[in-house]
Amino acid sequence: MNAVASALKGGSHMAGVPHRGFFARHPESFTLVLIVAVSVIVGSINPNFFELSTVFDILRSSTVTGLFALGVLIVLAAGGIDVSFTAIAVLCMYAITKAVLGYWPEAPFIVIIVSGAIIGTLLGACNGYMVHRLKAPSLIVTIGTQYLLRGFLLTFVGTLFFMVIPQSMDNFGRIALFNYRSATGATAILPASVLVLALAAAVTWFLLNRTLMGRAIYAMGGSLAIAERLGYNVRVVHVFAFGYVGLLAGIGGIVHASTIRLASPFDLVGTELDVIAAVILGGARITGGTGTVSGTLLGVILVTLINNVMILAGVPSTWQKVVIGAFILLAGAVFATRGKK
């Protein structure tokens, strides 16, 4: 891969192939091109798109998807896949909300989010341990745990909506980083919850690029056998990678309930494919060993954007799924063939 990339780099001034080399080395730049293209197209159809509130809405909608996607990035880079993170998130969110409302309604937000993080990490680490111990495909293990956790939630924890969430969560969801009043008299708010995503992105970047664990993750994603021979402890890496998804899922669940101000046990599960699509469209390979934080964030923005501009672009509701599906298919196909001559 590197050899190909540098060969292309050398020949990048040759007519006909320059973009191939550039996009192969920086897959996230292709994501950025798509984001700009979608924005220009939608904006030209409907100028209402170019408003500050659009940026706020996209960022707000990206927050939870982004937290999940950063976790998925780590697991994909480590050569695995996880589809149980939404179930972990909804279990943490709903069970903790219920417990707090029942036993300690005035619990501070930090306690709530930390308990979400801890429970999420433990559940994720169980996934990692099972993947390592059973030598089973991580897809199968996490499909199993997704069913298990969600079944547990609906059977033993509860099925009713909480329309009133603990005060501290409600307060957190209402903190505005920035708000303004548009010409039409509607208020647009950028919630402070996007800072959680920014922090998580910084931590994930540091982890992947500046620590030994980051190297171990990419190495294991490249080839499990070689990583083992190089002396990496693959059990620790497995448990860490899946634990990290769990951590971000737990935090994401709490942030989700805080921003939407209701806790529903039927939420989130079913959105995991959107998240995985976002990570792939951000340039990570489903076969492992690659992927960047910046690419993942761009992928999340792209998927959120495409899901939130169909009405503005005037696509009738019957056609929206067709258009979104075709878009992901086309973009995915471009990514799948990148780097090949």
Partner 1 sequence: MNRKLICSALALAFLGAAGTLYAQGKQQTITTVVKITGIAWFDRMEAGVKEFGTQNAGIKTEQTGPGQADAAQQLRVIEDLIAKKVDALAVVPIDPAALEPVFKKAMSRGIKVVTHEADNQKNTMVDVEAFENAAYGARINDRLAKCMGEAGKWTSFVGSLGMQSHVQWAEGGAANAAKKYPKMQLVDAKTESNNDATKAYEKAKELLRKHPDIKGFQGGSSVDVLGIGRALEEAGLQGKVCVFGTGLPSETAKYLESGAINGIAFWDPKDAGLAMNKIAKLLLDGKTVTDGMDLGIKGYDKVKVTKGPGGGIVVKGQAWVDADKSNYKQYPF
* Interface contacts to partner 1, rule CB under 8 A: 46, 48-49, 51, 53-54, 57, 61, 150-151, 154, 159-161, 163-164, 182, 184-189, 256, 260-262, 264-267, 269-270, 307-312, 314, 317-318, 320
- Residue 302 C-beta: closest distance to partner 1, Å: 16
Q: Which of residues 154 and 334 has its CB atom nearest to partner 1 in the complex?
A: 154
Q: Which of residues 101 and 234 has its CB atom nearest to partner 1 in the complex?
A: 101
* CA dihedral over 277, 194, 78, 29, signed as positive or negative: positive
- Residue 155 C-beta: closest distance to partner 1, Å: 9
Q: What single letter denotes the amino acid at residue 226? A: I
- Residue 35 C-beta: closest distance to partner 1, Å: 17
Q: Which of residues 134 and 176 has its CB atom nearest to partner 1 in the complex?
A: 176
- Residue 94 C-beta: closest distance to partner 1, Å: 12
Specify which residues 263 forms β-bridges with.
Answer: 162
Q: Which of residues 32 and 189 has its CB atom nearest to partner 1 in the complex?
A: 189
Question: Residue 181: helix, strand or coil by DSSP?
Answer: strand
- Residue 68 C-beta: closest distance to partner 1, Å: 14
- Residue 61 C-beta: closest distance to partner 1, Å: 6
- Residue 183 C-beta: closest distance to partner 1, Å: 8
Q: Which of residues 6 and 44 has its CB atom nearest to partner 1 in the complex?
A: 44
Q: Torsions phi, psi of 166, nearest 5?
A: -55, 145
CA distance 37 to 21: 20
Long-range contacts of 256-260 (CB under 8 A, 24+ apart): 256/64, 256/89, 256/93, 257/93, 257/94, 257/97, 257/165, 257/169, 258/109, 258/165, 258/169, 258/170, 258/172, 258/173, 258/193, 259/60, 259/63, 259/64, 259/173, 259/191, 259/193, 260/173
- Residue 247 C-beta: closest distance to partner 1, Å: 22
Specify which residues 181 forms β-bridges with.
Answer: 187
CA distance 244 to 125: 8
- Residue 162 C-beta: closest distance to partner 1, Å: 10
Choose among 24, 64, 35: nearest CA to 303: 35
DSSP string, 43-60: HHH-GGGSSHHHHHHHHH
Rounded to the nearest 10°, the torsion over CA 83, 144, 113, 70 is: -20
Question: Residue 288: helix, strand or coil by DSSP?
Answer: coil
Q: Which of residues 176 and 236 has its CB atom nearest to partner 1 in the complex?
A: 176
Locus of tokens 């059977």: 155
Q: Which of residues 53 and 223 has its CB atom nearest to partner 1 in the complex?
A: 53
Q: Which of residues 29 and 53 has its CB atom nearest to partner 1 in the complex?
A: 53
Rounded to the nearest 10°, the torsion over CA 321, 323, 329, 333 is: -170
Q: Which of residues 155 and 337 has its CB atom nearest to partner 1 in the complex?
A: 155
